[in-house]
């Protein structure tokens, strides 16, 4: 049975993506920092007939993240799809004149180094199977910086660059790398959570270019 690992799994988009892939026969590994919340989400998915388990891990702690992904693969099956979508800390949404080197370092660790550790963990099995998908979900600052969102404006473009390079390098091996940019808070957009999850599924099932914009950038409104 194929497995999707959702890093940054929460009760909204993460849960909706889990349900969407679960309907297609995927097992679901849910990763975030709160084991209790993960256990509740996993129980709800299992009640719907979807094999699911939660694995507590902090993307800023590489050993935790790698161990969680390895445990998930061992218990649920090889990870066929990796979604990297941890919710940025509120501290990353500071004005640029208040940004510090320490904040930038943490944002980079959160968005780029966490992703790199995750990719390096799941990629060997994908390459052996010559199939797999890596999905990045980012906000609008991955495309256009905002002076009041300094942390993500620095880190998201770097994450995007890494993803774009992976897209080019891995395509010949049958592995897709795709990014969905959501320029704004989902409740403020014209799509429901389930409709956004459907778009995530389509990026896996009908792969195309690296970057997909959920809506045009100028229509987005980031939460304050």
List, for residues 82-98, the tens digit of each pLDDT value: 999 998 988 888 999 99
Residue 80 has pLDDT above 60, yes or no: yes
| pLDDT digits 0-9 by tens, 166-195 | 999 999 999 999 999 998 776 667 789 999
Q: How much is the pLDDT for 189?
A: 72
Q: Does 173 reside within a domain?
A: yes
Q: Does 206 reside within a domain?
A: yes
DSSP string, 32-85: ES-HHHHHHHHHHHHHTT--EEEEE--TT-HHHHHHHHHHHHHHH--EEEEEE-
Mean pLDDT of all residues belonging to the chain: 93
**What domain count does the chain have?**
1
Q: Does 106 reside within a domain?
A: yes
Q: What pTM was estimated for this model as a whole?
A: 0.94
Instruction: Specify the range with the lowest mean pLDDT, choosing from 142-146, 180-184, 215-219.
Output: 215-219
Grouping H, G, I as helix, E, B as strand and the rest as coil, residue 87 is: coil
Q: Does 224 reside within a domain?
A: no
Q: How much is the pLDDT for 65?
A: 98
| pLDDT digits 0-9 by tens, 50-70 | 999 999 999 999 999 999 999
Q: Does 47 reside within a domain?
A: yes
Q: Does 46 reside within a domain?
A: yes
| pLDDT digits 0-9 by tens, 1-25 | 899 999 999 999 999 999 999 999 9
Instruction: Report which DSSP code applies to 147.
Output: T
Domain limits for position 121: 3-219
> For a pLDDT cut of 90, what percent of the chain falls above it?
87
Taking residues 202-223, what's their average pLDDT? 81
Residues 191-216: b if buried by 16+ CB within 10 A, e if exposed? eebeebbebbbebbeebeebbeebee
Partners of 179 in the β-ladder: 136, 211
CA dihedral 205, 110, 141, 94 (to 10 degrees): 150
Grouping H, G, I as helix, E, B as strand and the rest as coil, residue 30 is: strand
Tokens at 10, concatenated? 């929460």
Q: Does 37 reside within a domain?
A: yes
Taking Cα atoms as reference points, which of 87, 71, 86 lies closest to residue 29?
71
77: CATH: 3.40.50.720
Q: How much is the pLDDT for 224?
A: 46
Q: How much is the pLDDT for 10?
A: 94
The total number of residues shown for the chain amounts to 224
């Amino acid at each position: 049975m194929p497995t999707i690992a959702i890093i940054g799994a929460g009760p909204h988009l993460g849960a909706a993506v889990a349900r969407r892939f679960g309907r297609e026969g995927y097992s679901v590994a849910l990763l975030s920092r709160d084991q209790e919340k993960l256990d509740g989400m996993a129980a709800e998915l299992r009640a719907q007939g979807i094999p699911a388990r939660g694995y507590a891990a902090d993307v800023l702690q590489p050993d935790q993240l790698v161990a969680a992904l390895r445990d998930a693969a061992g218990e649920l099956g090889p990870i066929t799809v990796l979604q990297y979508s941890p919710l940025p800390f509120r501290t990353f949404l500071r004005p640029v004149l208040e940004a510090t080197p320490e904040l930038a370092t943490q944002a980079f660790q959160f968005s780029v180094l966490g992703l790199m550790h995750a990719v390096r963990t799941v990629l060997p099995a994908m390459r052996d199977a010559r199939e797999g998908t890596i999905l990045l979900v980012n906000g609008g600052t991955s495309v256009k910086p905002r002076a009041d969102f300094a942390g993500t404006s620095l880190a998201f473009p770097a994450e995007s660059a890494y993803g774009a390079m992976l897209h080019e390098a891995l395509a010949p091996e049958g592995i897709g790398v795709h990014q969905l940019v959501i320029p704004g808070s989902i409740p403020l957009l014209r799509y429901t959570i389930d409709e956004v999850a459907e778009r995530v599924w389509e990026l896996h099932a009908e792969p195309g270019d690296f970057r997909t914009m959920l809506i045009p950038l100028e229509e987005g409104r980031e939460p304050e």
